[in-house]
Amino acid sequence: MDTLDITALPPAALNRKKKISIWKKSPSLNAGVVMVGLVLIFAGLPGLIAAFSPTSQDADHILEAPSLAHPFGTDNFGRDVFARVVHGTRIDLTIGLLATLVPFITGSLIGLIAGYYGKWVDSVLMRILDIFMAFPFIVLVIAIVAILGPGLNNLYIAIWLVGWKDYARLVRSEVMVAKNAEYVQAAKILGFGDLRILLRHILPNVLSVSIVFAAADVVMCMLSGASLSFLGLGVQPPTPEWGAIISEGRAYLSQAWWICAFPGLALVFAGTGFSLLGDGLSDLLRTKGR
Amino acid sequence: MDPILEVAELKTWFFAKDSTVKAVDGVSFSIMQGETFGLVGESGCGKSATCRSILRLVHEPGRIVSGSITYKGQDLVKLSEEGMRKIRGKEIGMIFQEPMTALNPVLKIKEQIFESFEGMRMSTAQKYERAIELLRIIGIPTPEVRIEEYAHQFSGGMRQRAMIAIALAAQPKLLLADEPTTALDVTIQDQIIKLINSLKTRLGMSVLLVTHDLGVVSQMCDRVAVMYAGFIMELADTITLFSEPRHPYTYGLISSLPSGKERGARLEPIQGAPPDLGSLGPGCPFAPRCRFVGELCTRTMPEMREVSPGHMSRCHYIEKMAGIKGLIEPEGRAS
Amino acid sequence: MDTHVAEKQYIQVEGLSKTFKLKHPIIDILMKKPRKLLKAVDDVSFTIEKGETLGLVGESGCGKSTLARTIVRLYEPDQGKIFFDGLDIAALEGKALREERKKFQMIFQDPYSSLNPRMSVRDMLTEVMLFHRICTRSEVDHHIAELLRTVGMSEATAERFPGEFSGGQRQRLGIARALALNPSFIIADEPVSALDVSIQAQVINLLADIQEALNLTLLFISHDLRVVRHVTHRVAVMYLGKIVEMAETEALFKEAAHPYTKVLIKAAPVLDPRNRTREYAIEGEPPSPINLPAGCRFNPRCSYAKDICRREEPRLEEVKPGRLAACHFPLIA
């Protein structure tokens, strides 16, 4: 037998160092993790952070400017805007995550199937996709909500029906490259079935673009949720949702800017956090690939 | 014979975030008028970086750190960008491994050749005539038809020829050829080798050939430099290098080749793998894989020493290799 | 046709063909032009004895890779039979095919795309062995250690990912994966073409050792004649989808029977700088396999071509004992 001694292997420590240095070198990943972490804490423990209840009204303190007692001021019912924004975090985050998760799964699966099987399967799925692509996202969502009626559940359904298309397109193009890679051919020759090849060999190699996109998509979905609530099609008052708060505060914009400004800033903060996280993830996943 | 190009102590380094890759680390050689000079070595040895440094085409984050490249009395390292533009294509041409990356897909072959005539006082009719003549010399059949076509309409070998035609349009004195036959099938490779050989004599050019293939070296080069880890390890005329290698790496390369004598005989590969250029020790970079390794080798870098006139080797223990034969019989004793 | 099992060679390919349908552009459909076909492999037959290495050479586009992929059933053959130890695997489907697959494996050319970048060496080999029940879960570690030793790598490498290895090491891992199923027949598709010369020699030696130790049958595909001459017992030369010559390796390299073989040998650069010529081994390039010339496929480029060559396609026939050539006027008789 050949007794070649392979001494030139890079030491494993080197690789570990590389992984750590990515954390160090990707400021966007760090900032993203911290910001999203804050958002998660707000969403998880609103009661600990906000002193007031988001719905308790106080007729003595109507439209008060930000103060020590009410850092974000109060609204037209005397509700604490800080409490409403903090409690709204959970709702907006849930909208963002739920509205992203389902299309992420369905879209990726559709892309996987279309890209792997090709031929007529691909043609049919891609023509359906083309139809969805032809309408602007928000217009389609509004149309669906208008048909189903306003409300949070219908909002989810609308975004789920529309949001899969980007994932399907991204994953499909990646699969079309990956399925010709020699490691996939090797898997076929090893006798593995389609399901095993798709899920164990192709999926992990094509998912990184989807994951990166999903991080940005959370922002999009939070914004869409907020926009629709603002338009009165999503979350209904008095539930504290950022878009709904802004919508309610709109009438008082000239007297009490804080009602609109703080939920707006919260949206910007959460959005920036997820965008940075997506950016950092794409650095991380790209380096890990090879 | 006079040198047309002299490279002295050239260092081209690549600055990565956490390490400096010394791709070319003190390379010196000269190319004589009318000769084909070969730079041979395995991937990552710095042969391509050396070649690109000559035209100052090193990719980011690479940079020529020091050294000089003298062409017609000017130092190309110090020349202004404008001065370089007068050198590129006009004095020194270059061809690549993958013609599709060198040819512009949206321009006709004609337009690309005409571009090379830029700056010359010629009428369009003259340009056209010259271009046709060029394509004919390069061996493209029915040039009047092909000149109106685009690169994607050409087959692999024809693309390589078209790229050579464009590189030679301004009649450069020196042609840099970076792995010009590596992507080609053996019969096309044979044609391109012979084409470059005959063009060299016909146009009175010099050629710098970068390749990993010793077969191509033997068919094209007058002299060769063998590179390893950014250094020239051995430099000699081709016959001497093939018959009396005096560096362990050259010898290792030669004995790795299945020379076609006996089926099933064991090849003698070089053990291990090339080093990481970002973290080289003080000694000879080949020491960890060298079968003649001695105690000096891991401590100090050997200098280039003359084995015989024109034959240089960078090894502490050249004597250990005395009498070792290469692939062919040495000159004079040939049967 | 004789299908008597006892008389079959270990590997026997009979009349194998694979045609690809090219995209049918709308314009062509409207003009009622027929869909273009690419005959990548056209009526190919050969045999390999147990323990033998057959070389398959030819230029890019000659169909050698398609032939390999059709034999391992990555592509469905259009026609023909592939007898493997007496069993026609071209006719197998589903579970029977999966069972049979254990016995024939493939080694790929590109060490950078042939390993799943997101699976560690241990995961990769474990999956293969457990899927085919080569051993029980408790024996897996032992088997992996043995496999890695066989391909000249230390057991410590098992936890690493493909990205941490050099090209030569990846190729060794590809070989380990093929060996994990204890196959008896391996197709190596340009296994050393992407490697540097010094590493190439290591892998060639490794393949030779493994073949001897495990008594493997090999189909070795390469465009590098020097490597083929070193590695193989017999060689088949392909041109535009057909085998044009087949012979013992040394005999073929000493004296070619088919003009194309002669050209190929002549075109390979000689390793002697004193031995240079000016004339081309052959002019031009192979024609497109979509529009094949009538008669012998090589006739438009053949310097020996006569009238009959332009009319009639020669069959692959014995021109001398042990030497097959598809030529009306073989260079040896």
Question: Whats the size of chain B, residue-wise?
Answer: 335
First-to-last alpha carbon distance for chain A, in angstroms, is: 31
Other residues' Cβ atoms within 10 Å of the Cβ of residue B327: 17
Q: Is B235 helix (H, G, I), strand (E, B) or coil?
A: strand
In a domain, B197, yes or no: no
pLDDT > 70: what percent of chain C? 98
- Tokens 């310097």 correspond to what residue? C303
How many Å lie between the alpha carbon of A279 and the closest alpha carbon of chain C?
21
- The answer on pLDDT for B330 being more than 70 is yes
End-to-end CA distance of chain C: 29
> In this predicted model, what pLDDT tens digit does every residue of C41-82 receive, in sequence order?
999 999 999 999 999 999 888 899 999 999 999 999 999 999
CB C254 within 8 A of CB B198: no
Task: Reply yes or no on whether the pLDDT at B197 is more than 90.
Answer: yes
C residues 132-151 closer than 8 Å to A (CB): 132, 149-150
Listing DSSP states for B252-264 in one string gives HHHHHS--SSSTT
Residue C189 pairs in a beta bridge with C221
Question: Cβ of B276 and A10 within 8 Å?
Answer: yes
CB contact under 8 A, C163 and A191: no
Closest B-chain CA to A3: B271
Locate the chain A residue with the closest alpha carbon to C150: A1
- Residue C6 has a pLDDT of 45
Q: Could you tell me if A2 lies within 8 Å of chain B, comparing CB atoms?
A: no
Confidence (pLDDT) at C112: 83
Instruction: Name the amino acid, one letter, at B188.
Output: I
Rounded CA-CA distance C175/C169 in Å is 10
A234-264, pLDDT tens digit by residue?
787 778 888 888 888 888 888 888 888 898 8
Min distance A78 CA to chain B CA atoms (Å): 55
CA atoms of B16 and C313, how far apart (whole Å): 59
Cβ proximity of B311 and B246 under 8 Å? yes
Q: Are C286 and C240 contacting, i.e. CB atoms less than 8 angstroms apart?
A: yes
B244 residue type, one letter? E
Out of A86-95, A185-194, B113-122, which region has the weakest mean confidence (pLDDT)?
B113-122
Give CA separation, C131 vs A169, B292, C181, C298, in Å.
Answer: 32, 47, 10, 46
The answer, for B333 touching chain C at a CB cutoff of 8 Å, is no
Q: Can you tell me the distance from the alpha carbon of A128 to that of C76, in angstroms, rounded to the nearest whole number? A: 30
Angle at B122 between CA B116 and CA B127, to 5 degrees: 60
Among A189-203, B3-17, C29-43, C113-127, the minimum mean pLDDT is found in C29-43
Residue in chain C closest to B250 (alpha carbons) equals C198
Between CA C45 and CA C13 the distance in angstroms is 5
- Are the C-beta atoms of residues C204 and C227 closer than 8 Å to each other? yes
- Give the pLDDT score at A81: 86
Shortest alpha-carbon distance between residue C83 and chain B (Å): 27
pLDDT score for B68: 95
Q: Mutate which of A6, A16, A180, A207 to disrupt the C interface (most C C-beta within 10 Å)?
A: A6
Closest CA to B37 of B187, B241, B202: B241
Q: Which residues pair with A7 in a beta bridge?
A: none
Tokens of C42: 């056209």
Q: Which of B185, B194, B268 sits opposite C223 (nearest CB)?
A: B185
- Alpha-carbon gap: A208 to the closest alpha carbon of chain C (Å): 11
- pLDDT at residue number C178: 93
CA A249, CA A271: separation in Å to the nearest integer?
Answer: 21
Q: What is the pLDDT of residue B263?
A: 63
Judged by CB atoms closer than 8 Å, whether chains meet at A7 and B18 is answered as: no
Residue of B nearest to C234 (CA): B263
Q: Which residue of C has its CA nearest to A203?
A: C118
Chain A residues inside the 8 Å CB shell of B18: 21
Residue pairs spanning B and C at CB distance below 8 A? 136
The average pLDDT across A132-156 equals 85
Q: What is the pLDDT of residue C43?
A: 93
Nearest C-alpha neighbor of C131 from the set B59, B227, A193: A193
User: A7 — contact with chain B (CB < 8 Å)?
Assistant: yes
User: Inter-axis angle of helices C167-179 and C197-214, to 10 degrees?
Assistant: 20
Provide, as residue numbers in chain B, all residues whose Cβ is less than 8 Å from the Cβ of C55.
none
Mean pLDDT taken over chain C? 89
Contact between chains at C270 and B219 (C-beta distance less than 8 A):
yes
Decide if A8 and B18 are in contact by the 8 Å CB cutoff.
Answer: no
Burial A53-64 (b: 16+ CB within 10 A, else e): ebeeeeeebebb
Using 50, 70 and 90 to split pLDDT, how confident is the model at A286?
low
Q: Which helix (H) or strand (E) holds B82?
A: helix B81-87
Q: pLDDT tens digit string along C236-267?
A: 999 999 999 999 999 999 999 999 999 999 99
Fold for A36-53+69-289, please state it: MetI-like fold (1.10.3720)
**Contact yes or no for B27/B233 (Cβ under 8 A):** no
The range of the structural domain enclosing residue B247 comes to: 1-34+41-81+222-335
Cross-sheet strand order for the sheet of C87-88 = C37-48, C11-21, C79-84, C87-88
Burial of C13 (0-12, 13-18, 19+ CB in 10 A): buried
Residue type, C66: T
Q: State how far the alpha carbon of B21 is from the alpha carbons of A16, B11, B14, B230, C203, in Å.
A: 21, 11, 5, 9, 28
**CATH number for position B57:** 3.40.50.300
Give residues with Cβ within 8 angstroms of B69, minimum separation 6. B5, B6, B7, B8, B10, B53, B54, B75, B76, B77
Helix then strand then coil, % of chain B, to nearest 5: 35, 25, 45
Burial code (b: 16+ CB inside 10 Å, e: under 16) for B298-321 equals eeebbeeeebeeebbbbbbebeeb
Smallest Cβ–Cβ distance between C114 and the set A8, A182, A192 belongs to A182
The answer to whether the Cβ–Cβ distance between B258 and C267 falls below 8 Å is no
Note whether B219 contacts C204, CB cutoff 8 Å: no
**Closest-CA residue to B247 (of B159, B161, B320):** B320
Please check the confidence at residue B137 and state whether its pLDDT lies above 60. yes
> CA of A2: which chain B residue's CA is closest?
B266
From the list C98, C106, C117, the residue facing A205 with the nearest CB is: C117
Would B272 be classed as within a structural domain? yes
CA nearest to C208 within chain B: B264
pTM of the model: 0.84
Per-residue pLDDT tens digits for C167-181: 889 999 999 999 999
Q: In whole angstroms, give the CA distance from residue B82 to residue C253.
A: 54
Distances (CA, A) of B141 to B137, B158, B161, B201, C283: 10, 9, 11, 22, 11
* A242 three-class SS: helix
Decide: helix, strand or coil at residue B50.
Answer: helix
Treating both helix axes as pointing N-terminal to C-terminal, what angle do A27-44 and A12-25 enclose, rounded to 10 degrees? 70
Give contacts of A189 with chain C, Cβ < 8 Å. 72-74, 101, 104-106
Does residue B159 belong to any structural domain of this protein? no
- A–B interface: beta-carbon pairs under 8 A: 15
Q: Report how far apart, in Å, the C-alpha atoms of B22 and of each of A131, B50, B248, B276 are.
A: 54, 11, 22, 10
Chain A residues with CB-CB distance to B272 below 8 A: 5-8
Task: Point out the residue among A181, A192, A288 whose CB comes nearest to the CB of C113.
Answer: A181
pLDDT mean across residues, chain B: 89
Whether residue C197 is predicted with pLDDT greater than 70 in this model: the reply is yes
pLDDT at A19: 52
Write out chain A residues lying below 8 Å of C102, CB-based. Answer: 191
Query: Whose structure tokens read 């001497």?
Result: B240
On whether the CB atoms of residues B314 and B231 are closer than 8 A, the answer is: yes
In a domain, B316, yes or no: yes
How many A/C residue pairs have CB atoms within 8 Å?
89
Two structure tokens written together for B183:
């992507």
Interface predicted TM-score (ipTM): 0.87
- Asked if C278 lies within 8 A of B194 by C-beta distance, the reply is yes
Among A7, A10, A21, select the one facing B18 at the smallest CB separation.
Answer: A21
Cα separation of A76 and A253, whole Å? 11
> Do you know the residue count of chain C?
333
Residue A73 near residue A81, CB atoms below 8 Å:
yes
Query: Among C271, C276, C290, which would you mutate to test the B interface (most chain B Cβ atoms within 10 Å of its Cβ)?
Result: C271
Task: Give chain C as a 3 state SS string.
Answer: CCCCHHHCCCEEEEEEEEEEECCCCHHHHHCCCCCCEEEEEEEEEEEECCCCEEEEECCCCCCHHHHHHHHCCCCCCCEEEEEECCEEHHHCCHHHHHHHHCCEEEECCCCCCCCCCCCCHHHHHHHHHHHCCCCCHHHHHHHHHHHHHHCCCCHHHHHCCHHHCCHHHHHHHHHHHHHCCCCCEEEEECCCCCCCHHHHHHHHHHHHHHHHHHCCEEEEECCCHHHHHHHCCEEEEEECCEEEEEEEHHHHHHCCCCHHHHHHHHHCCCCCCCCCCCCCCCCCCCCCCCCCCCCCCCHHHCCCCCHHHHHCCCCCEEEECCEEECCCCCCCC
DSSP H or E segment with residue B143: helix B143-146
Quick check: B275 contacting A, CB < 8 Å? Answer: yes
Cβ distance of B288 and A4 shorter than 8 Å: no
pLDDT at C304 over 80: yes
Binary contact (C269, B267; C-beta < 8 A): no
pLDDT at B260 over 70: no
- Identify any residues that bridge with C53 across adjacent strands, giving them in sequence order: C218
Are C71 and C253 spatial neighbours (Cβ–Cβ below 8 Å)?
no
What is the rounded average pLDDT of the residues B134-148?
Answer: 88
Backbone phi and psi for residue C93, each to the nearest 5 degrees, phi listed first: -140, 165
Quick one: angle between helices B156-168 and B124-138, nearest 10? 130
Domain count, chain B: 1
A156 and A235 Cβ atoms separated by less than 8 Å: no
A neighbours by CB contacts (3+ pairs under 8 Å):
B, C
Q: Which among B157, B328, B334 has the least Cβ separation from residue C285? A: B157
% of chain A at pLDDT higher than 70:
90
Q: Does A180 touch chain B (CB under 8 A)?
A: no
CB of A200 within 8 Å of a chain C CB? The answer is yes
Which pLDDT belongs to residue C7? 52
Are residues B258 and C268, on separate chains, in Cβ contact within 8 Å? no
Query: Which residue does chain B place closest to A25, by CA atoms?
Result: B17
* Contact between chains at B258 and C202 (C-beta distance less than 8 A): no
C269 to chain B: which residues are within 8 Å by CB?
189-190, 193, 213, 215-216, 218-219
Which residues from chain B sit within 8 angstroms of residue A10, using beta carbons?
A: 276
**Domain C50-68+94-103+183-295, CATH:** 3.40.50.300
Mean pLDDT score, C326-330:
93
- What whole-number distance in Å separates Cα of residue A33 and Cα of residue A272? 11
B298 touches chain A (CB under 8 A): no
Q: Are B178 and B210 in contact (CB under 8 A)?
A: yes
Long-range pairs, C301-308, Cβ under 8 A, ≥24: C302/C259, C302/C260, C303/C259, C304/C259, C304/C329, C304/C331
